[in-house]
């Protein structure tokens, strides 16, 4: 979008020249410009009217909203607690709010390369413990809240964060296993990766919700949320493995041989020589897998877990406030967009930084 | 010591901890034992649990009466039919939405990908914004959005929106005009025959070129065949063909085809979401062909159409095909989200089945086997196509 679209055309000198070269350079381009501009003129003003000008931000009853003829943002104002925190006890909802902030802060901190030190791992352990205490409670005078009642944004963030934390090491191990010279281990990893990549996540979620209870011995049960989390981890790991394998394949043999001639063991070779280079190559595809994982957490809706999407559905299904689903879905679409778009922007800047380091 | 060691080697291989081969063997045995143990643990638990809950095993249930209705189906299905037939109807629904989605997403995605590279600032920006928005919002949410928009936001059939002649959008779905009449079969037969003849002609021309060094001009003959034979087929069937335009009658639309709200929402969501990814694939493919290739081909005096067909596309396709294949696979797998908006696809039907019979293991196995089969056949086809267009290094 940035460099590519304009890179081919030299920068024009004046505004008129810009319009001429960028919009009306040929008859075909002129027709295209007029056509797109026409479509935008048809679509944007009514959309803006609906979204902002005629929208109702302060209605107290649904009828007021319907009369205004625009979007009903008052519905979001009315339901934002339900959408963001689900059915978590109303008076305790500062706890999931704080937990979300802690999680977001951890992720943002981890994005700064200056903080990539050993203490960051400690910070994560502390932060996750804090999240657990805040969400579950039961200690420090906080009342106990079952995870059945968790919901909304914190649940989506928890599923995504723990999903990445669990799937990344597993995916790394699978990628190394697939490149291994041991035939049995290689075959197992190939079978796992191909099997998982061949089926949709929904089938794994159904499996975790109906089949896992059958897998376990009588009397032993795994919590529903944890089962969904497991399914997400097992699913994402296969995709991470394939991406990392791509990076591993791009490392020339000389690197392995050089490491071997220094007397490094297999794990030393991987940790100090191969993986740092391989992972740097695949940052962009890895980031898009993490984005997919975040988006895929919405699929837990089908097994009835109360994540952000399910919470929005619950808000929409209120009989009193009927017919405002567009507003609710747009609202959470904005939340997902901000989260996913920032991951993709961050991955691009990280890639640039690492490439600059390598070139130095 | 040295003599002893060499004699030991002479006697045969003796495992030792310092030998990497021995360690590798040990690791593999340990891993296999762990996997086998886990499998045994899970299977024995499952069998015990099934026995305790009085759930039968095996695929016998596929022949029993299903007893539930399916909203839309390509084959005749009634609740009195068997579970097996219900699942087949679901599978056909999955294939139907996936096939339509793949075609439409490829078309829309290619246009968007090319627009993103266009020198036209407006086109590039609009396409860029579209791609960023669509890629960063979960597909499931988009499906809910479109479904709600159709079922809640659209008027009833009586006041249906009427954007183009013959096209109606209402809360009952999307009604489109459709070709109808005997002539359709004739056209289809003519088209199949024409494609077969054109392919044969192409092969013959390629052989002639290899033998004589001069290609016979077959392009016009192929065009004539492709246009003429369907026309002949239409004429042979008595020329019966007309547009069947949907018309509102009392309660609902009659004539044309009406796509249900579920199918319309699912198709719209899949196409709009996947086309953003397809656009990126197409863009990177075209960018991978250097400007020098265009310039060199033009310098040789090739007209632009042949530059594209003979020089640029073959190189771009090499980059485009593998990621495109995985987008097609993703679309097919994503069609399973149908279950969330009530389109009776494979997952949704199998889910109903396993809830009714309690045979969860078999139900999940059916879903997984069907998707694996579809995934493998798409990837086999795309691999075959990829090999055909791959770089032939001499």
Q: List pLDDT tens digits, range A24-71.
A: 777 777 888 888 888 888 888 888 877 777 777 777 777 777 777 777
In a domain, B28, yes or no: no
Identify which of B104, B120, B108 has the alpha carbon closest to the alpha carbon of residue B282.
Answer: B108
Is B128 inside any structural domain?
A: yes
Together in a domain, B285 and B343: yes
Q: Find where tokens 């089962």 sit.
A: A227
Domain count, chain B: 2
Name the packing angle between helices B83-117 and B261-287 (round to 10°). 40
Nearest residue on chain B to A216, judged by CA atoms? B45
Provide the residue range defining the domain that includes B183.
Answer: 178-244
Which residues are registered as beta bridge partners of B252? B249
Question: Is pLDDT larger for residue B239 or for residue B247?
Answer: B247
In a domain, B40, yes or no: no
Instruction: Give the Å distances, CA to CA, from B93 to A204, A344, B86, B266.
Output: 21, 34, 11, 11
CA distance B309 to A126: 60
Q: How confident is the model at residue B13 (pLDDT cuts 50, 70, 90)?
A: low
**Together in a domain, B336 and B219:** no
Of residues A9, A182, A309, nearest to B28 (C-beta):
A182
User: pLDDT at position A2, please?
Assistant: 40
Rounded distance between C-alpha atoms, residue A166 and residue A63, angstroms: 47
A36 — contact with chain B (CB < 8 Å)? yes
> What residues of chain A lie within 8 A of the CB of B128, using their CB?
1, 5
| 3 state SS of A105 | helix
Residue B214 lies in a domain: yes
Do B270 and B361 fall into the same domain? yes
Same domain, B234 and B266: no
The reported pLDDT for the residue numbered A237 is: 94
Q: Which residues of A touch B131 (CB under 8 A)?
A: 1
Average pLDDT over residues A345-357: 83
Residue B134 resides in a domain: yes
Q: Assess whether B296 and B193 both reside in one domain.
A: no
Q: pTM for this one? A: 0.84
Whether residue B121 and residue A210 make contact (CB cut-off 8 A), yes or no, is no
State how beta strands B178-180 and B173-176 pair.
Answer: unpaired
Which residues in chain B have their CB less than 8 angstroms from residue A299's CB? Answer: 140, 337
Q: Does A304 touch chain B (CB under 8 A)?
A: no
The predicted-structure confidence for B26-49, as pLDDT tens digits, reads as follows 888 898 999 999 989 888 888 888
Contact A309 B347 (CB under 8 A): no
Q: Is A258 on the interface with B (CB under 8 A)?
A: no
Partner B contacted by A317 (CB < 8 A): no
A261-285: per-residue pLDDT in tens? Answer: 999 988 899 988 888 888 888 888 8
Instruction: Identify the weakest region by mean pLDDT among A78-82, B121-125, B188-192.
Output: A78-82
Taking only the tens place, the pLDDT of each residue in B337-391 is 988 888 888 888 888 888 888 777 888 888 888 888 888 887 788 778 777 776 6
pLDDT over threshold 70, residue B101: yes
List the one residue out of A293, A291, A292, A331 whose CA is nearest residue A312: A331
Q: List pLDDT tens digits, range B115-150.
A: 888 778 888 899 999 999 999 999 999 999 999 888
- In this prediction, residue A80 carries a pLDDT of 81
Are B116 and B202 contained in the same domain? Answer: no
- B141, B161, B377: which to substitute to probe chain A, counting the most A Cβ within 10 Å? B141
Residue in chain B closest to A11 (alpha carbons) equals B119
Contacts of B56 in chain A (CB under 8 A): none
Q: Any CB–CB contact under 8 A between A212 and chain B?
A: no
Give the C-alpha separation, B234 to B230, whole Å: 6
The phi and psi torsions of A196 (rounded to 5 degrees) equal -65, -40
Contact flag B122-A214 (C-beta cutoff 8 Å) = no
For the cut 80, the answer to whether the pLDDT of residue A85 exceeds it is yes
Give the whole-angstrom CA distance, residue B103 versus residue A176.
37
Q: For residues A55-93, b (16+ Cβ closer than 10 Å) or e, as one string?
A: bbeebeebeebeeeebbbbbbbebbebbbbbbebeeebb
Residue in B266, B281, B278, B274 with CA at minimum distance from that of residue B331: B274
Q: Do B366 and B307 share a domain, yes or no?
A: yes
Shared domain for B195 and B321, answered yes or no, is: no
Residues B148 and B297 in one domain: yes
Residue A166 pLDDT more than 80?
A: yes
The domain limits of chain A are: 1-53, 89-144, 160-360
Task: Supply the ipTM of this predicted assembly.
Answer: 0.86
- Is B35 close to A188, i.e. CB distance below 8 A? yes
Tell me whether residue B226 is in a domain.
yes
For a pLDDT cut of 70, what percent of chain B falls above it? 92
What is the phi/psi pair of residue B65, to 5°? -70, 130
Q: Using the beta-carbon criterion (under 8 Å), do A32 and B118 form an inter-chain contact? A: yes
How much is the pLDDT for B211? 83
Q: Is residue B200 part of a domain?
A: yes
Q: Mean pLDDT, to the nearest integer, of A106-128?
A: 82
Q: Which residues of B touch A23 (CB under 8 A)?
A: 120-122
- Are B305 and B217 part of one and the same domain? no
**Which CATH number is correct for A160-360, 1.10.3720.10, 3.30.70.1290, 3.30.230.10, 3.30.479.30?**
1.10.3720.10
CATH number for the domain harbouring residue B330: 1.10.3720.10
**Within an 8 Å CB–CB cutoff, is residue A5 touching chain B?**
yes
Mapping DSSP to helix (H, G, I), strand (E, B) and coil, where does residue A47 land?
helix
Mutate to test the interface with B, among A1, A71, A266 (most CBs of B within 10 A): A1
* Cα dihedral: A358, A168, A104, A118 (round 10): -60
CA angle A240/A241/A244 to nearest 5° reads 85
On whether both B159 and B188 belong to a single domain, the answer is no
Is it the case that residue B156 has pLDDT exceeding 50? yes
Helices then strands (H, E): number in chain B? Answer: 14, 7
- Do B226 and B312 fall into the same domain? no
Distance CA B364, CA A199 (A): 11
- Residue B10 belongs to a domain: no
B271 — pLDDT class (breaks 50, 70, 90): very high
Give the nearest partner residue to A206 out of B52, B139, B351, using CB atoms.
B351
Query: Are B27 and A326 within 8 A, CB to CB?
Result: no
């Amino acid at each position: 979008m940035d460099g590519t679209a304009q890179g081919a055309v030299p920068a024009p000198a004046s505004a008129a020249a810009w319009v001429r070269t960028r919009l009306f350079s040929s008859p075909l381009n002129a027709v295209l410009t007029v056509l797109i501009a026409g479509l935008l003129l048809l679509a944007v003003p009514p959309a803006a009217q609906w979204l902002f000008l005629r929208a109702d931000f302060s209605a107290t009853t649904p009828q007021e909203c319907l009369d205004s003829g625009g979007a009903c943002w008052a519905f979001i104002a009315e339901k934002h607690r339900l959408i963001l925190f689900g059915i978590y006890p109303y008076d305790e909802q500062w706890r999931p709010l704080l937990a979300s902030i802690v999680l977001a802060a951890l992720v943002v901190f981890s994005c700064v390369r200056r903080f990539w030190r050993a203490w960051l791992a400690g910070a994560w352990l502390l932060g996750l413990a804090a999240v657990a205490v805040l969400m579950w409670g039961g200690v420090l005078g906080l009342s106990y809240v079952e995870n059945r009642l968790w919901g909304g944004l914190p649940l989506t963030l928890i599923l995504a964060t723990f999903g990445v934390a669990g799937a990344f090491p597993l995916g790394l191990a699978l990628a190394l296993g697939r490149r291994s010279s041991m035939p049995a281990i290689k075959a197992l990893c190939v079978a796992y990766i191909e099997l998982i990549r061949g089926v949709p996540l929904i089938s794994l979620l159904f499996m975790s919700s109906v089949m896992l209870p059958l897998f376990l011995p009588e009397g032993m049960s795994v919590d529903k949320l944890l089962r969904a989390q497991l399914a997400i981890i097992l699913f994402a790991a296969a995709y991470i493995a394939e991406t990392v394998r791509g990076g591993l394949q791009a490392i020339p043999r000389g690197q392995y041989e050089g490491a071997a001639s220094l007397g490094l063991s297999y794990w030393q070779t991987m940790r100090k020589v191969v993986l740092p280079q391989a992972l740097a190559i695949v940052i962009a595809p890895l980031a898009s897998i993490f984005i997919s994982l975040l988006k895929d957490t919405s699929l837990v809706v089908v097994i009835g877990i109360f994540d952000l999407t399910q919470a929005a559905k619950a808000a929409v299904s209120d009989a009193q406030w009927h017919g405002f689903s567009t507003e609710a879905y747009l609202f959470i679409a904005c939340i997902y967009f901000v989260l996913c778009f920032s991951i993709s922007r961050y991955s691009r800047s990280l890639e640039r930084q690492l490439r600059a380091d390598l070139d130095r | 010591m040295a003599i002893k060691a060499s004699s030991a080697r002479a006697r045969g291989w003796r495992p030792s901890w310092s030998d990497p081969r021995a360690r590798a063997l040990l690791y593999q045995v340990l891993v296999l034992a762990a996997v086998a143990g886990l499998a045994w643990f899970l299977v024995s638990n499952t069998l015990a649990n099934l026995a305790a809950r009085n759930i039968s095993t095996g695929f016998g249930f596929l022949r029993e009466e299903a007893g539930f209705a399916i909203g839309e189906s390509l084959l005749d299905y009634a609740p009195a039919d068997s579970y097996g037939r219900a699942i087949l109807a679901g599978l056909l629904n999955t294939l139907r939405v996936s096939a339509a989605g793949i075609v439409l997403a490829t078309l829309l995605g290619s246009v968007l990908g090319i627009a993103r590279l266009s020198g036209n600032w407006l086109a590039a920006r609009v396409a860029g914004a579209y791609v960023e928005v669509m890629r960063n919002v979960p597909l499931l949410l988009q499906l809910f959005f479109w479904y709600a928009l159709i079922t809640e936001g659209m008027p009833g059939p009586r006041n249906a929106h009427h954007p183009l002649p013959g096209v109606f959008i209402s809360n009952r779905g999307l009604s489109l005009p459709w070709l109808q009449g005997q002539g359709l079969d004739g056209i289809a037969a003519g088209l199949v025959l024409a494609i077969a003849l054109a392919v044969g002609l192409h092969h013959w021309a390629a052989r002639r070129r290899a033998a004589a060094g001069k290609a016979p001009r077959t392009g016009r003959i192929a065009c004539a065949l492709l246009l003429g034979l369907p026309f002949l087929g239409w004429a042979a069937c008595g020329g019966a063909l007309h547009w069947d335009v949907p018309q509102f009658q009392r309660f609902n639309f009659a004539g044309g085809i009406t796509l249900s709200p579920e199918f319309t929402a699912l198709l719209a969501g899949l196409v709009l979401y996947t086309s953003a990814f397809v656009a990126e694939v197409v863009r990177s493919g075209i960018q991978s062909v250097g400007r020098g290739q265009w310039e060199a081909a033009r310098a040789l005096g090739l007209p632009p159409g042949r530059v594209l067909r003979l020089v640029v596309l073959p190189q771009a396709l090499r980059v485009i095909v593998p990621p495109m294949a995985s987008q097609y696979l993703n679309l097919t797998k994503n069609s399973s989200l149908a279950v969330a908006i009530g389109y009776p696809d494979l997952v949704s039907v199998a889910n109903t089945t396993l809830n009714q019979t309690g045979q969860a293991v078999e139900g999940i196995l059916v879903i997984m086997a069907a998707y694996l089969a579809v995934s493998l056949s798409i990837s086999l086809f795309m691999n075959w196509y990829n090999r055909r267009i791959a770089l032939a290094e001499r």
